[in-house]
Homo-oligomer: A and B are copies of this chain.
Amino acid sequence: MDEIPPRPEFDLIERLAERVGDTAADADRVAVGIGDDGAVTVPDGATATSVDMLVEGVHFRRSTSPLRLIGRKALSVALSDIAAMGAEPGEAYVALGIPPDLDEAGCLELYGGLAEVASEAGTALAGGDVSASPVLAIAITVVGHGAAAGDFVSRAGARPGHVLVVTGELGGAAAGLLVLERPELRSSLGEEAAAALVARETDPTPRLTAGRALAAAGAAAMIDVSDGLGADAGHLATAGPAWLRIELEGLPIQPGVAELADAAGADPLDLATAGGEDYELLASLPPERISEAVAAVRPLALTVIGEVSEGSGVELRGADGGPRQPRGFDHLRRR
């Protein structure tokens, strides 16, 4: 079937394998890496596996993101789910759909970004597949490890009396996206602050160390903040089931978000609760474990942002003590 020439040849696979081979060769658990019918690994006891698919025009644009950053973000986003399980990152498998206008150098640049994050995160790029495709598409399967299935933290363990904690700072990715889409907003910020916000959007950090630390410190439910704090809290609330009350006044909002929101005519709380893509971790903890958890994730901040009670749902409470619905931030974006 020849509408799209059946590119990727064996040569390309070999070159991609060379580009990322070290990440697999150094991995203790990988017995056979790229190049056979399958990669052979020896897990520790239990595995946590997650899949993320990114498609050009839906999740990224090559016109605004360099290929290296597209590769970095694809793997970081996938690894964020492993972080949210409290698992140790192990292997990643990459299925790459290569469009006609992406040459071998471009593929290698993208794999360079993948290899960087793999190396930073201690993840072996152990296999994958390549195919011709009308647009760039990247599907990544990541495998995390733990001694036993019970060591992983699901979304389902939030219980009445728990406190809700979130790592790091929120709102930065949404603010960064606005900066990218509306360059005139840059003038409201210093160049450094603008760059920091943009980096939150284009090059997120999976909170792998914090995820394992929170699991060890008693996190009973955990999720990464990818869809927005409100939506992701909703996933914990449904899985529990549990009632999650979040005090918006206490949210850790990234520096620069307030100024950017002001310039954009937005409420920083909307960016922090509805923007998503911050890839921080939201966890439910027994209150007696808070100080242990705070110490365990240091130097990353861990902020108590609410509490869990009986029921099933999410309540976002404003400074006035009244309920509040996030308005989203899509209306602020340039179409």
Query: What's the nearest-Cβ distance from chain B to residue A11, in Å?
Result: 13
Asked if residues B149 and A139 are in contact (CB atoms below 8 Å), the reply is no
Known: A46-B31, A49-B41, A137-B97. A132 touches B4 (CB 8 A): no
Asked if residues B54 and A1 are in contact (CB atoms below 8 Å), the reply is no
Asked if residues A85 and B37 are in contact (CB atoms below 8 Å), the reply is yes
Which residues on B sit within 8 Å (CB–CB) of A127? Answer: 49-51
Which residues on B sit within 8 Å (CB–CB) of A59? Answer: 1, 131
Which residues on B sit within 8 Å (CB–CB) of A142? Answer: 38
Asked if residues A55 and B224 are in contact (CB atoms below 8 Å), the reply is no
Asked if A243 is at the interface of the complex by the 8 Å CB criterion, the answer is no
Asked if A45 is at the interface of the complex by the 8 Å CB criterion, the answer is yes
Asked if residues A51 and B94 are in contact (CB atoms below 8 Å), the reply is yes
Query: What's the nearest-Cβ distance from chain B to residue A73, in Å?
Result: 13
Which residues 16-60 in A have Cβ within 8 Å of B in the complex? 31-32, 35-43, 45-55, 57-60
Q: How many residues of A contact B (CB 8 A)?
A: 70
Please indicate which of the listed interface residues A6, A31, A148, A156 has the most CB atoms of chain B within 10 Å of its own CB: A31
Bitwise interface map of A from 121 to 142 toward B, beta carbon under 8 Å scored 1, else 0: 0000011111111110101011
Asked if residues B149 and A32 are in contact (CB atoms below 8 Å), the reply is yes
Please, how many angstroms separate the alpha-carbon atoms of A141 and B130 in the complex?
Answer: 13
Asked if residues B133 and A87 are in contact (CB atoms below 8 Å), the reply is no
Which residues of A are interface residues toward B (Cβ below 8 A)? 1-4, 6, 31-32, 35-43, 45-55, 57-61, 81-82, 84-85, 87, 91, 93-97, 126-135, 137, 139, 141-144, 148-149, 152, 154-156, 222-224, 239, 335
Asked if residues A58 and B131 are in contact (CB atoms below 8 Å), the reply is yes
Asked if residues A223 and B37 are in contact (CB atoms below 8 Å), the reply is yes
Please, how many angstroms separate the alpha-carbon atoms of A32 and B86 in the complex?
Answer: 14
Which residues on B sit within 8 Å (CB–CB) of A84? Answer: 37-38
Query: What's the nearest-Cβ distance from chain B to residue A257, in Å?
Result: 21
Asked if residues A38 and B50 are in contact (CB atoms below 8 Å), the reply is yes
**A133 touches which of B52, B58, B130, B131 (Cβ 8 Å):** B58
Which residues on B sit within 8 Å (CB–CB) of A134? Answer: 55, 57, 134-135
A-B contact pairs, 5 of them (CB 8 A): A38-B50, A42-B46, A47-B47, A54-B131, A95-B141
Please, how many angstroms separate the alpha-carbon atoms of A267 and B277 in the complex?
Answer: 57
Asked if residues B133 and A55 are in contact (CB atoms below 8 Å), the reply is yes
Please, how many angstroms separate the alpha-carbon atoms of A133 and B60 in the complex?
Answer: 12
Known contacts A1-B61, A4-B57; 14 further A-B pairs (Cβ under 8 A): A31-B46, A36-B156, A37-B224, A38-B49, A38-B50, A40-B48, A40-B149, A41-B49, A42-B46, A42-B149, A49-B91, A55-B134, A95-B141, A134-B135
Query: What's the nearest-Cβ distance from chain B to residue A252, in Å?
Result: 21
Please indicate which of the listed interface residues A48, A49, A135, A224 has the most CB atoms of chain B within 10 Å of its own CB: A49
Q: Find the B residue at minimum CB distance from A6.
A: B58
Known: A42-B45, A149-B40. A57 touches B3 (CB 8 A): yes
